[in-house]
């Protein structure tokens, strides 16, 4: 895949936004690969994603520094929030997991096959089950268990210590995105605040149904006819962050909780891997507690 730049914009809607952005790109000689806009008429907001080649066919490369300078002025004028990202260097992703490995196995295999255009320099787990898999894929693994404690106060201290250790690892590895691939520890707000809109979790229910622990048990108890899974950005509030992707599968009265768990694994793999890919490809814009996912 050749190198390209992606510009993500959100701002108050007004006339001429597309004209001004696309004209600037045209004047700078950009060869646009994809462009998409969205207006939220209720909120009066405008969203745009535009991707263009950094190496043109004629041997010239796009002058990103010059463009950024010109665009910064335009963006200030139009009150834009914006992000300018390039495919290269690739985003650096850390995978966190616990004892269930289906999601991380799926992500590692997709990465090996080239579906995920990212570096994965770190796997973190509070269990050791993933260690051989990490070795097979050649990815450094760090075991970070919270030390046992007999009181809540000590438990909290230990948990914060573990998170500090994890954050140190993330900084050392230059991590841009943390993926919780069935990581069964709840992150503190302090941890979450270090990676705003950059921690993706998979929850094994169709949110907002069955928030919290043991959602397949809850789904079975309620007698639903479809089960679901949801990938979302992690915020301070449990299972409440912006939803990135959801999917469902049909079940029947024949399915016991174990069957739901097995069927659900396929959903979890799919919704998590899509979310990671879309994030890596700079397709997601968060606004309020929602996402725009450009296709």
**6 vs 2: CA distance, rounded Å:** 13
Give the span between the Cα atoms of 76 and 9, in whole angstroms: 12
Q: How many CB atoms lie within 10 A of CB 178?
A: 25
Size of the site for its own copies (CB under 8 A): 67
From residue 91 to residue 130, the character string flagging contacts with its own copies as x (rule: CB under 8 A) and all else as - is: ----------xx--xx--x---x-x---------------
Report if residue 70 touches its own copies, rule: CB under 8 A: no
Closest approach of its own copies to the CB of residue 1, in Å: 10
Q: Is residue 239 among the annotated active site residues?
A: yes
78 scored as a contact of its own copies (CB under 8 A):
no
Q: Does 60 bind its own copies (CB under 8 A)?
A: no
The answer to whether residue 213 forms part of the interface with its own copies (CB under 8 A) is no
DSSP H or E segment with residue 283: none
Cα-trace Rg, the chain: 21
Q: How far is CA 253 from CA 219, 225, 229, 257, 278, in A?
A: 12, 8, 19, 11, 35
As measured in angstroms, the least distance from the Cβ of 125 to its own copies is 16
Q: How far apart are CA 169 and CA 142, in angstroms?
A: 9
- Judged by CB under 8 A, does residue 81 bind its own copies? no
Phi, psi of 262 (to 5 degrees): -70, -45
Which parts of this chain interact with its own copies (CB under 8 A)?
15-16, 18-20, 22-23, 25-26, 29-42, 47, 101-102, 105-106, 109, 113, 115, 132, 136, 206-210, 222-226, 228, 242-248, 250, 252-254, 256-257, 262, 266, 270, 288-293, 295
């Amino acid at each position: 895949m050749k190198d390209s730049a992606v510009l993500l914009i959100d701002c108050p809607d007004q006339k001429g936004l597309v004209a001004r952005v696309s004209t600037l790109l045209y004047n700078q000689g950009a060869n646009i690969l994809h462009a998409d806009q969205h207006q939220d008429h209720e909120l009066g907001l405008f969203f745009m994603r535009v991707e263009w080649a950094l190496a043109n066919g004629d041997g010239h490369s796009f002058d990103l520094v010059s463009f950024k300078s010109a665009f910064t002025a335009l963006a200030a004028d139009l009150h834009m929030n914006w992000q300018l990202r390039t495919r290269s260097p690739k985003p650096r992703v850390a995978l966190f997991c616990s004892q269930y490995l289906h999601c991380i196995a799926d992500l590692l295999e997709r990465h090996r096959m080239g579906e995920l255009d990212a570096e994965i320099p770190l796997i973190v787990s509070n269990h050791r089950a993933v260690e051989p898999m990490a070795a097979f894929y050649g990815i450094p693994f760090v075991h970070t268990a919270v030390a046992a404690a007999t009181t809540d106060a000590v438990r909290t201290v230990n948990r914060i210590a573990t998170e500090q250790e994890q954050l140190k690892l993330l900084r050392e590895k230059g991590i841009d995105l943390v993926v919780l691939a069935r990581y069964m520890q709840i992150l503190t707000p302090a941890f979450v605040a270090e990676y705003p809109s950059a921690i993706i979790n998979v929850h094994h229910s169709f949110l907002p149904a069955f928030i919290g622990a043991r959602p397949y048990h809850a789904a079975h108890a309620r007698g639903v006819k479809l089960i679901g899974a949801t990938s979302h950005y992690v915020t301070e509030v449990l299972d409440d962050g912006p939803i990135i992707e959801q999917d469902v599968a049909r079940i029947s009265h024949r399915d016991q909780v174990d069957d739901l768990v097995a069927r659900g694994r396929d959903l979890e793999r799919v919704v998590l891997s899509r979310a990671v890919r879309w994030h890596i490809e700079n397709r997601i814009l968060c606004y309020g507690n929602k996402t725009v996912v450009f296709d």
